[in-house]
Amino acid sequence: MRSRYSVFSLLANALTGQKGWTPAWRDAAPKPAYDVIVVGGGGHGLATAYYLAKEHGIRNVAVLEKGHIGSGNAGRNTTIIRSNYLLPGNEPFYEWSMKLWEGLEQDVNYNSMVSQRGVLNLYHSDAQRDAYARRGNSMRMAGADSELLDEAGVRAYAPFLNFDDARFPIKGGLLQRRGGTARHDAVVWGYARAADKLGVDIVQNCEVTGFIRENGVVVGVETTRGPIRAGKVGLAVAGSTSRLTRLLDLRLPIESHVLTAFVSEGLKPLVPGVVTFGAGHFYVSQSDKGGLVFGGDIDGYNSYAQRGNLPVVEDVCEAGMALMPQIGRLRVLRSWGGIMDMSMDGSPIIDVGPLPGLYLNCGWNYGGFKATPASGWCFAWTLAKDAPHALNAAYRLDRFRTGHMIDEKGVGAQPNLH
Ligand SMILES: Cc1cc2nc3c(=O)[nH]c(=O)nc-3n(C[C@H](O)[C@H](O)[C@H](O)COP(=O)(O)OP(=O)(O)OC[C@H]3O[C@@H](n4cnc5c(N)ncnc54)[C@H](O)[C@@H]3O)c2cc1C
């Protein structure tokens, strides 16, 4: 039985040689059958299992992960959380996610280092300012917070930016103070521990290699650890979605692309929150250890590789230098890549189907980390009730057939531009 983490358990273990800690979750072996199988032990899969057990009392659940939990995008992202969306299909969903982030650590009894240090999107032209004003108003209408800063406001918030001789002068920014960062691995571990405590089996090193179908209904999966039957099978495998649905002869409006992130050597505190460049693709925050964590665009071609290429390194560093020339002498410690499930309108899919017994959670583009709590919450609802919740009602797969797109960036069916 796992104890509750608290100041008392910390003290008790400190005084007894740290011998009282138990594993945070069981290393479960797969059972022959479950009520629900969730494929993918990233943040979304584990959050789904947790909310299935907690909110709907469905505890005969397995999360099947081909490697170790968090080894996909959940453990590779740049940890930004925010709810600064424009469109009505998106904003209430992401604001619900933000509210769940705000109570997450108490809910799952795990320190996920949720840090509401602010997210600032810079603007560099009058047109961009107007677009941000519109977005800020839309956020407020959905109950989120937003502040439109002028140049003086940005100078006060982030004085280290290049204001005086910049190629793209900074005119102001849209600030969401409740946005920020969370420790990505700790989010995975927190959901895993909480789900396990409610009886969910977390089965690692268990790759799904096929589906069991009877009379057209998905009734289980084939895995590297044998067949496992299930009443319902939910896919939450992010960039691997099209690989798995190919096994069912399904083609989805998803392309996989690689996205790279970088971390620098440690610095004294410099960047107060998350700052994004409005004249190129670059975003930066500073980890609690002092490293700058930054990234930019995806590589411009489809790939299932978990590492990027040099042209993107150059592109990201150029944008970074345009915004913060002082980082030119900073050493990059590491860079890594993850596989993005880019959808045709840049918005996700959380839906029943498209085959009986199958449920989809995918299309997160490069914004799925911030969605983790709401994605799990809504996917659990959809699995439990066989229908979407109002918050994910717009994230239906058939919107690509009916034309009800949620094109936040307005770039059309060009996944590499979302
Ligand atoms: C470099 C980078 C930076 C990012 N920055 C941000 C950010 O700052 N903010 C933000 O909101 N989002 C960000 N994202 C996006 C975010 O990380 C993803 O959208 C989100 O993590 C996807 O959901 P997930 O956590 O469940 O995916 P994953 O962690 O990828 O989970 C899917 C899991 O499925 C497993 N799997 C795959 N195939 C199989 C199979 N056949 N059988 C069993 N298991 C399988 C994988 O091993 C993996 O663990 C970033 C992504 C990357 C790569």
Report pLDDT for 68: 97
The residue length of the chain stands at: 418
Q: Does 189 score more than 70 pLDDT?
A: yes
DSSP-assigned letters across all residues of 239-266: GGHHHHHHTTT---SEEEEEEEEEEEEE
Q: What is the mean pLDDT of residues 349-360?
A: 97
Q: For residue 346, which of 326, 371, 324, 328 has the smallest C-alpha distance?
A: 371
Quick one: tokens of 180? 């920020």
Residue 164's pLDDT band, with cuts at 50, 70 and 90, is confident
pLDDT, averaged across the chain: 96
Atom of ligand 1 nearest to the CA of 188: 25
Q: Is 44 in the pocket of ligand 1 (CB under 6 A)?
A: yes
Among 369, 375, 377, 378, the mutation site with the greatest number of ligand 1 atoms within 8 A of its Cβ is 369
User: What does pTM read for this prediction?
Assistant: 0.97
Q: Is 67 in the pocket of ligand 1 (CB under 6 A)?
A: yes
Give the closest residue (by CA) to ligand 1 atom 52: 77
φ, ψ for residue 153, nearest 5 deg: -65, -40
Q: Residue 167 burial (CB < 10 Å; 0-12/13-18/19+)?
A: exposed
Tell me the one-letter amino acid at 120.
L
Report pLDDT for 114: 97
Atom of ligand 1 nearest to the CA of 336: 1
**Separation of CA 90 and ligand 1 centre (Å):** 19
Report pLDDT for 1: 55
Q: Is 346 in the pocket of ligand 1 (CB under 6 A)?
A: no
11-69 pLDDT per residue, tens = 999 999 999 999 999 999 999 999 999 999 999 999 999 999 999 999 999 999 999 99
**Separation of CA 7 and ligand 1 centre (Å):** 32
**Separation of CA 325 and ligand 1 centre (Å):** 31
Over the range 104-130, which residues count as b (16 or more CB within 10 Å of their CB) and which as e? Answer: bbebbebebbbbbebbbbbbbeeebbe
For the CA atoms of 199, 200, 206, 207, the dihedral, rounded to the nearest 10 degrees, stands at: 160
Among 76, 77, 206, the mutation site with the greatest number of ligand 1 atoms within 8 A of its Cβ is 77
Residue 174's pLDDT band, with cuts at 50, 70 and 90, is very high
**Separation of CA 113 and ligand 1 centre (Å):** 19
Atom of ligand 1 nearest to the CA of 75: 29
Report pLDDT for 308: 87
Report pLDDT for 307: 87
Q: Is 253 in the pocket of ligand 1 (CB under 6 A)?
A: no
113-155 pLDDT per residue, tens = 999 999 999 999 999 999 999 999 999 999 999 999 999 999 9
Q: Is 77 in the pocket of ligand 1 (CB under 6 A)?
A: yes
